[in-house]
Structure 1
Amino acid sequence: MNNDSYKISVEVTPNYIEEQSKPEHEHFVFSYTVTIINEGDKPARLLTRHWVITDGQGEVQEVKGDGVVGEQPYLKPGEGFQYTSGTMMKTPNGSMAGSYQMIADDGFHFDADIPEFYLLSPTTLH
């Protein structure tokens, strides 16, 4: 099997949402924009997601579910899909990582890794 046939790249850009955050109540809101690109040579559909969210105190929350933002995007080779979502934490910093579970047109199931990225509010810089 050629692993290049099943290659999905994932890039994430996080953003702190100051107007929705309430640091005095341990409520820090972040958005993140995800870009998913099929770099393989087989069309594939995103079936489910698995996120691991770790706050600044090491508390881990796992999120699993169908698709992303209510969709299960189908990506032909070279096609991409972008969406924005969000999360809330009790600490001003943390990280997220995970994977998307994909299925190619030939029935092959594979994971697309979401590389770890950091959620940082401006208050963590002081």
Structure 2
Amino acid sequence: MPDLEGFVINDIEMPISFEQRTKDVIVRVEPEFLAEQSSVSDSRFIWAYTVEIDNQGTKDLQVTGRFWQIADSRGQVQEVRGSGVVGEQPTIKSGEVFRYTSGAPLTAPSGMMRGTYRVEATDGESYDIDIPAFVLDSPHEGLVLN
């Protein structure tokens, strides 16, 4: 089975990504293990993840909040709540994609993340869109079903 840094087909590395649709919004996540920032001896496993929020609907949407659950293979669960994403509350126009990269540290070699974004449409409707659950399995541990 491939690790999360991707797999190779015909000498081309293919990243692994996760996708979830809520109404007319697709959220895609591509995690990447950051080996150069991680340290097995210090139990520090650092991940970057790139998110795309693809507004395929007819209304502009503003991301007003986020909720994350981050679990590691030792059973520790963290919850993160906040306004917007990466320090802003972006408006994603109909037909556009908003993309950002963030990070997550773990103290175990594997884990998973999932969550929701709170969005508000131009007509005032507010609702949550799902962030797909995605695995964080470093090369320092075999592939694990979380």
Q: TM-score, normalised by structure 1?
A: 0.92
In the TM superposition, structure 1's runs of 4+ consecutive aligned residues that sit over 2 Å from their partners are none
In 2, the alpha carbon distance for the partners of 1:54 and 1:99 equals 15
Deviation of 1:8 after TM superposition, in Å, equals 1.5
SS at match of 1:69: coil
In 2, the alpha carbon distance for the partners of 1:55 and 1:30 equals 12
Q: Which has the higher contact order (CA 8 A, sep 6+)?
A: 1
1:77 aligns with 2:108: no
Deviation of 1:57 after TM superposition, in Å, equals 1.3
Residue aligning to 1:35? 52
Residue aligning to 1:98? 115
Task: Give the RMSD, CA atoms, in angstroms.
Answer: 1.2
SS at match of 1:25: coil
Which residue, out of 93, 96, 105, partners 1:88? 105
In 1, the alpha carbon distance for the partners of 2:50 and 2:92 equals 18
Provide structure 2 residue ranges, at least 5 long, that are not aligned to the other structure.
1-22
Deviation of 1:125 after TM superposition, in Å, equals 2.6
Which string of whole-angstrom CA distances, capped at 9 and with x for unpartnered residues, describes residues 57-112 of structure 1? Answer: 12110001111111111111111100000010110000000000000011100111
Residue aligning to 2:137? 120
Provide structure 1 residue ranges, at least 5 long, that are not aligned to the other structure.
1-5
Which residue, out of 49, 54, 60, partners 2:66? 49
Which residue, out of 15, 19, 26, partners 2:36? 19
Q: Which amino acid aligns with 2:33?
A: Y
* Contact 1:27 1:89 (C-alpha < 8 Å) held by counterparts: yes
Residue aligning to 1:108? 125
The number of aligned residues is 121
Which string of whole-angstrom CA distances, capped at 9 and with x for unpartnered residues, describes residues 20-66 of structure 1? Answer: 11111111100000010111111110001100000011211000111
Residue aligning to 1:59? 76
Q: TM-score, normalised by structure 2?
A: 0.80
Residue aligning to 1:3? none
* Contact 1:47 1:102 (C-alpha < 8 Å) held by counterparts: yes
In 2, the alpha carbon distance for the partners of 1:72 and 1:44 equals 10
In 1, the alpha carbon distance for the partners of 2:47 and 2:111 equals 10
